[in-house]
Amino acid sequence: MTDEKQIYNFWENTGLFKANIKSSKKTFSLLIPPPNLTGELHIGHAMQHSVLDAIARFRRLQGFDVLLLPGVDHAGIAFENTFDKELKKQNLSKEKLGREKWLEAAWQFKENIYNSVSQSWRFMGLSADWSQEVFSLDEKRKTAVFHQFKKYYDDGLIYKGPYIVQWCPKCNTAIEDLEMEYEEKKEKLYYVRYQVKGQGSKVKGQNFIEIATTRPETIFADTAVAFYRNHPKFKKFVGQKVINPLTKNAIPVIEDKRVEKDFGTGALKITPAHDILDYQIGKDHKLEILHAVNKEGRLTDITGEFCGQKIDEAKEKVVEKLRTLGALSKEEDYIHSVAVCERCKTTIEPLISEEWFVRVEKLAKGAIDVIKKDKIKFLPSNYAKILTDWLNNIHDWCISRSLWWGHRIPVWYPSTREVHPERGRRARSGSSDMKVSLDPPGPDWKQDEQVLDTWFSSGLWPLSTLGWPDKTKEFDRYFPWDFEISAPEIKYLWIARMVMISNYFTGKKPFKTMFFHGTLRDLEGRKFSKSLGNGIEPQYLIDKWGTDATRMALYTYSIPGRDGRVSKETLDERGKNFRNFATKLRNIARFVLELKPPGASHSRPDRESDSHFRGNDKEAVEKVIMPKDDQWIMGKLAKTTKTVTKHLENLELHLASEEIYEFIWHKFADDYIEASKSRRPEAQSTLENILKQTLILLHPFMPFLTEELYQKFEDKQKSILLEKWPSATNA
RNA sequence: GGACCCGUAGCUCAGUUGGUUAGAGCGUUACAUUGACAUUGUAGAGGUCAGAGGUUCGAGUCCUCUCGGGUCCACCA
């Protein structure tokens, strides 16, 4: 049994990865962060899986009933984009298929990806309980998500309405602030004059207000001009009106402290429909809301001749028009960061849309309490503060997405009502003509068109994976989770949500320990990404150096919160190093177990050799029976065992793996084995004893090799997984 | 603007509560090796631990500042 696949199948088929609900052992539960249903395993996943698996295997050997629960996330936007691209290749589209057929095809497509994701996990040796595998869109999760929605709804935490949201015109849905990123872009800053009404003919004194803008195409929807209170330059215009240079509408001049005094010209055009700040100012000043840009990123009919044009092409033409009107005083080059969609890098258009929201204040407050009182152990520890700070400044959560792939919003309307195609339904939460239900309330009801934000279901993951809201035995036994791991970039999107949601529904923390691993970057410190093409496939390393060596290489970078700079070369270096280590260990085993000298005593059962150091007068027994070399190596092993155990318990995998590596190569092989050659027959039982113990200590990190070598012992359990972790005191 | 992290050998990084000559891998130098293992062994070179100041009997480790690199959040008219 040398092939990794073969070993993995042996473990899985023997049921060694399964948690045992009936066991009387203490439990240890680990929740695998569900990878997105989009593609291959990347190096970050490989790191997470290596860490999770080492801890799971360590606890299993220690005698815990371990649950390592696998699952996959449907990943709304990400999957939908991937699938739509696939459809395009087949000359199909959403429009051609319609929702029902599209979903049917999507579920088929899902199967293929799903299998590849699942397969990748097995390559890393992940000892997950596959009998409990979940998918975030399966039936049980559907029920759980519905319960979540219903409870929020009943508790008055859910509301719906037209609000300004971050809109991605390409994904064609609202997204959250957290799903945006910023890109430096070189644009133009245009200085535009708004004539003061009724003073147009005066030559003396300033009769216009000049504003600076990067978005002249939205001037059509300007409904005010504002400046900071008591601004010396503009104070005199308060209460007057200015003329919108494009629409010729008279719009008010207002004061608001949210306008920065020294930014631009000091005056700001207010476009409530297309800017978050403007929206808030407009709301407080009861300004009219006009739309100049629609959800496709095209200009609307209020822009007259520009109607239907895309923003970029319209912008220049609008500028030209302003120029001919004499309203453009100057333009400057301007570099600033622009919000883009993190998925498709399209510029975000803030606009007003009918969406669903969750009031999160109460949830956040509970989460802060849990972090403070219930003491979730964060690694690194400063993440408790980072998360608390965010929770203290939290905004309401927009949970609706205009997609088809996801949990459909469980709200139904009588189908007699016409629906505005752009705006959606106008029903308000609490109105009598809508019902919250998983299934249709009757024959003439139509379901809300939108789906829930993927993180709405992900946030429920610690509960829904254990069968919640049913009162399951699994939930009672394995919740809260002992261990969770995550990349730092989803600490708000996912981790904070899990804490809020778990606390809201159970009053408990979702996990006892939260481990944030660092990010692996290239040698210049950049993140790995598809667009940069700097990614390193874990599969490349696995093929070249083996799974065990790849895992060992990753443990050296698994320190919480520490980023690592790597390249193909540096990872190859480490891969090679640990592949060499694997060879070394293989040779040790060959020497100890296969190349016994003719006079060597037969391998003695462990219990017998153990008794050498378990006598009542331990020291005396050792002195009489154990030669000095044996005493020395046994002492070193005891120390190593203690240290490795301590590091594993502290989740310092980089130290634990280094410690056992050091012992095996430089103590056991270089010193003890070399010295044992002159007294081989006498040393044989110690050689075997040490080898077996080290295999167990190394197993969490290099599972395949240690199982393979363990099988060479005459006296053994069925699998090394059934062995006991050596105790530090009598090793 | 707010918060946080990092700066240790040529490169990538360790260094647990402050405590003897600061470590690893790769690279590098010399030598050895028909031996369990050349995917090896032995020995070595290589560091004013970014800089300055402070606390201490003692600082890579704690405090302050400076310089350099990075991350997250907010904002970007």
How much is the pTM? 0.90
Calculate ∠ Cα A19-A20-A23, nearest 5°.
Answer: 135
Q: Is A579 (CB) below 7 Å from strand B?
A: yes
CB-to-strand B under 7 Å, chain A 664-683:
665-666, 669-670, 673-674, 677
Q: Report the percent of chain A where pLDDT is more than 70.
A: 92
- Which residue, A390, A568, A415, is CA-closest to A490? A390
Q: Is A339 (CB) below 7 Å from strand B?
A: yes
Average pLDDT, chain A: 87
Taking residue A709's Cβ as centre, other Cβ atoms within 10 Å add up to: 25
Give the orientation angle of helix A680-698 with respect to helix A703-710, to 10 degrees. Answer: 140
pLDDT at A432: 63
Give me the amino acid identity at A509: K
pLDDT at A83: 92
pLDDT digits (tens, 9 = 90+) for A187-233: 889 999 998 887 655 545 678 888 999 999 999 999 999 988 888 88
pLDDT at A334: 86
Return d(Cα A697, Cα A645) in angstroms, integer: 8
Residue nearest to nucleotide B77 (CA to C1'): A213
**CB of A119 within 8 A of CB of A39?**
no
Report the distance from CA of residue A665 to the C1' of nucleotide B44 in Å, as an integer: 20
pLDDT at A430: 46
CB-to-strand B under 7 Å, chain A 120-179:
177-178
- ipTM greater than 0.85: yes
Q: Is A66 (CB) below 7 Å from strand B?
A: no
CB-to-strand B under 7 Å, chain A 431-490:
488-489
- Which residue, A399, A442, A342, is CA-closest to A78? A342
Which phi and psi angles does A685 have, rounded to 5°? -70, -35
Report the distance from CA of residue A575 to the C1' of nucleotide B35 in Å, as an integer: 28
**CB of A25 within 8 A of CB of A517?**
no
Which phi and psi angles does A726 have, rounded to 5°? -60, 140
Residue ranges of chain A with pLDDT lower than 70?
A: 1-2, 40, 199-205, 416-432, 531, 597-626, 728-731
Residue ranges of domains in chain A, CATH in brackets: 19-140+461-548 (3.40.50.620), 175-341 (3.90.740.10), 568-722 (1.10.730.10)
Q: Is A532 (CB) below 7 Å from strand B?
A: no
Report the distance from CA of residue A515 to the C1' of nucleotide B54 in Å, as an integer: 35
Report the distance from CA of residue A381 to the C1' of nucleotide B56 in Å, as an integer: 28
Burial of residue A190 (CB within 10 Å: 0-12, 13-18, 19+) is buried
pLDDT at A230: 82
Q: Is A705 (CB) below 7 Å from strand B?
A: no
Peptide bond before residue A380 is cis, with ω within 30 degrees of 0: yes
Beta strand A400-401 with A451-452 is antiparallel
CA A636 from centre of chain: 41
pLDDT at A417: 56
Q: Is A231 (CB) below 7 Å from strand B?
A: no
Give A181's contacts (C-beta < 8 A, 6+ positions apart).
A339, A340, A342
Return d(Cα A148, Cα A135) in angstroms, integer: 17
Does residue A581 sit in helix, strand or coil? Answer: helix
**CB of A462 within 8 A of CB of A502?**
yes
Taking residue A230's Cβ as centre, other Cβ atoms within 10 Å add up to: 11
Report the distance from CA of residue A709 to the C1' of nucleotide B19 in Å, as an integer: 42
Q: Which nucleotides of B are covered by protein (CB under 7 A)?
A: 3-6, 11-16, 24-26, 36-37, 39-42, 69-77
